[in-house]
């Protein structure tokens, strides 16, 4: 999607510092209708971006393997062009995928209508062969290639690609009908503007947007209970809990851009959610350049926030977690075995300690650690912070806490998927600072949960680990966590992971 110009983008700092109602507390509850609607959308969907991305890879592999197979069948395994021909086939297959992408042939709307796009796909495939012929002519190498071979590949390759697209159209239609491939959107703000937006979105042919409902703070006089056939499910504060239950992809704010104060009030509450946030621009008199917009069909949207670590980034990060978690388990297995024996010899009770913590999107997860306290004095709720020379901590516990060995079982959390290797550290659900919950201390605290929590993180390697005995410490930890979320990359994760053992040598705040 196109990015809005920085001058026209609402900055995260502007939203967080806006002098309006503070966000932080979990809403007390949503009504029965909203809860019933949310329960219908609990299941994750397949991202259209992921589906089209996989199709790109499959079509490349199919074209390359068919070309290679025909070469081996018609020419043989051993030939003076054996090294050159596979490169030509690979280049042609890659060029075809690029041209199909440039001509929007991987858009969901195009994939659902393969017959209507027959000519476009044929033109791209013919264009690839024309470029190959032109290149061979320019290099005076055309006589080295078999016309029979390339003619056969042209027919076979096109039949395979078009046949696959016929199959994909049926699959995509079935997935769309079953709600498995769609972008789920909630309209923020009701009334006439919301009705105009919904009508505009519904006019788009082969639309992958499913509107789940409307949330608005205004009363029924200004914001009717039913707008364009969709129910108003609650207030903006109740939307937070709705989005914790339902798997929502996008929030579309249906307010004029000129209502900046109200938009900022809304964003101050909503930016903590791991979703795309768009500001509808379909009825704005103020117009930006076309590249400032993203589009749902032809409906222009201003990009306010993007969901962090989405689509292929999430695949890369999950692969990173699996690989390095396995490496960590193998590498530290002797240490973990020795620690388990030491804990059993030192005090009675289980080796592992399980604690409920907040995970991605405020979900409750169970985190594994080596037990470092006496069993009868343990504090699963973490209401009482561990302090220096805390009598609840065992002798072995003091050592493994200081060296962070007690965290090693979390490699299994990362392998199983409840944690990531790198991310904001998960806090216990009842963790407090001076009798205040962390979310009561830090405005926007729950924005830490827009990504999976991690075994290690940017805050930890910058010294913000161990006891959170002041409000300033939890604020600083949150600031570093938010910086990580806003600037995530695979290289950033690698940097944090490899710096962690070095920074753990500083044990000043760990006890």
In a domain, 511, yes or no: no
- Both 57 and 150 in a single domain? yes
- Both 373 and 468 in a single domain? yes
Residue 419, classed as helix, strand or coil, is coil
Residue that the structure tokens 């998960």 belong to? 426
In a domain, 202, yes or no: yes
In a domain, 21, yes or no: yes
Residues 6 or more apart whose Cβ sits within 8 Å of residue 424: 448, 449, 451, 453, 454, 457, 459, 481, 484, 485
- Both 58 and 137 in a single domain? yes
307: tokens are: 């969901």
pTM of the model: 0.77
- Choose one of 125, 146, 178: the last residue of a domain: 178
Task: Find the distance separating the first CA and the last CA of the chain, reported in whole Å.
Answer: 47
Closest CA to 48 of 209, 274, 275, 204: 209
Residues 282 and 196: their CA atoms lie apart, in Å, by 9
What pLDDT, on a 0 to 100 scale, did the predictor assign at position 433?
Answer: 64
- Both 169 and 187 in a single domain? no
Output DSSP code: residue 221: T
Residues 112 and 17: their CA atoms lie apart, in Å, by 45
Residue 188, classed as helix, strand or coil, is strand
Number of domains in the chain: 3
- Both 197 and 239 in a single domain? yes
Give the burial class of 511: count Cβ atoms within 10 A of its Cβ; 0-12 exposed, 13-18 middle, 19 or more buried.
middle
In a domain, 349, yes or no: yes
- Choose one of 307, 342, 363: the last residue of a domain: 307
- Both 477 and 425 in a single domain? yes
> What CATH number does residue 281 fall under?
3.40.50.720
- Both 316 and 462 in a single domain? yes
- Both 356 and 258 in a single domain? no
In a domain, 461, yes or no: yes
CB atoms within 10 A of CB 179: 13
- Both 187 and 74 in a single domain? no
Closest CA to 234 of 40, 27, 430, 87: 27
Residues 6 or more apart whose Cβ sits within 8 Å of residue 439: 24, 25, 26, 445, 446
- Both 114 and 133 in a single domain? yes
Residue 277: φ, ψ to 5°: -120, 125
Q: What is the pLDDT of residues 94-109, one digit of tens each?
A: 999 999 999 989 988 8
In a domain, 510, yes or no: no
- Both 58 and 41 in a single domain? no
In a domain, 1, yes or no: no
69: tokens are: 């197979």
Closest CA to 363 of 442, 441, 446, 422: 446
Strands (E), 218-336: 226-227, 230-234, 250-253, 276-280, 294-296, 299-305
- Both 316 and 247 in a single domain? no
Beta bridge partners, 370, equal 352
> How many Cα atoms sit within 13 Å of 276 on the Cβ side?
20
Domain interval for residue 277: 6-45+182-307
Side by side, which strands form the sheet with 250-253? 226-227, 230-234, 209-215, 183-188, 250-253, 276-280, 299-305, 294-296
Residues 341 and 400: their CA atoms lie apart, in Å, by 13
Residues 425 and 233: their CA atoms lie apart, in Å, by 33
- Choose one of 307, 324, 356: the last residue of a domain: 307
Collect the ranges in the chain with pLDDT lower than 50: 1-10, 14-15, 17-28, 285-286, 511
Residues 230 and 292: their CA atoms lie apart, in Å, by 29
């Amino acid at each position: 999607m196109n990015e809005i110009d920085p001058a026209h983008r609402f900055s995260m700092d502007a939203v967080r510092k806006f002098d309006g109602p503070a966000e932080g507390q979990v809403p007390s509850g949503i009504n029965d209708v909203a809860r019933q609607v949310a329960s219908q959308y609990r299941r994750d969907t397949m991202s259209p971006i992921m589906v089209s991305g996989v199709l790109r890879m499959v079509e490349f592999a199919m074209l390359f393997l068919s070309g290679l197979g025909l070469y081996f069948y018609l020419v043989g395994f051993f030939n003076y062009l054996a090294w050159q021909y596979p490169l030509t086939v690979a280049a042609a297959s890659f060029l075809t995928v690029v041209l199909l992408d440039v001509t929007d042939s991987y858009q969901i709307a195009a994939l659902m209508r393969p017959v209507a796009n027959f000519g476009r796909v044929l033109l791209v495939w013919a264009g690839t062969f024309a470029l190959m012929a032109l290149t061979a002519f320019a290099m005076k190498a055309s006589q080295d290639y078999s016309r029979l071979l390339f003619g056969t590949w042209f027919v076979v390759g096109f039949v395979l690609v078009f046949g696959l697209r016929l199959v994909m159209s049926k699959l995509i239609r079935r997935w769309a009908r079953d709600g498995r491939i769609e972008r789920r959107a909630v309209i923020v703000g009701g009334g006439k503007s919301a009705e105009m937006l919904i009508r505009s979105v519904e006019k788009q042919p082969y639309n992958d947007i499913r509107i789940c409902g409307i949330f608005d703070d205004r009363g029924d006089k200004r914001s009717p209970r039913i707008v364009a056939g969709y129910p108003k499910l609650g207030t903006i504060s109740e939307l937070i809990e709705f989005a914790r239950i339902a798997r929502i992809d996008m929030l579309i704010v249906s307010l004029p851009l000129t209502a900046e104060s109200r938009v900022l009030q809304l964003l101050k509450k909503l930016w903590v959610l791991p979703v795309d946030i768009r500001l509808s621009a379909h009825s704005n008199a103020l117009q930006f350049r076309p590249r400032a917009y993203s589009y749902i069909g032809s409906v222009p949207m201003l990009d306010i926030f993007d969901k962090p670590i989405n689509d292929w980034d999430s695949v890369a990060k999950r692969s990173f977690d699996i690989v390095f978690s396995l490496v960590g388990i193998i590498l530290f297995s002797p240490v973990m075995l020795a620690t388990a024996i030491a804990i059993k010899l030192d005090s009675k009770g289980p080796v592992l300690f399980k604690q409920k913590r907040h995970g991605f999107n405020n979900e409750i997860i169970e985190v594994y650690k080596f037990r470092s306290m006496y069993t009868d004095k343990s504090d699963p709720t973490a209401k009482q912070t561990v302090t220096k020379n805390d009598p609840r901590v065992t002798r072995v516990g003091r050592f493994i806490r200081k060296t962070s060995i007690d965290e090693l079982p979390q490699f299994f959390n990362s392998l199983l998927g409840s944690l990531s290797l790198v991310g904001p550290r998960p806090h216990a659900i009842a963790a407090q600072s001076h009798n205040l919950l962390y979310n009561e201390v830090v405005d926007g605290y729950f924005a830490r949960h827009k990504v999976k929590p991690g075994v290690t993180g940017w805050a930890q390697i910058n010294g913000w680990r161990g006891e959170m005995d002041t409000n300033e410490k939890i604020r600083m930890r949150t600031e570093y966590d938010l910086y990580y979320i806003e600037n995530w990359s695979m290289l950033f994760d690698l940097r944090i992971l490899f710096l962690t053992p070095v920074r753990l040598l500083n044990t000043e705040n760990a006890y």
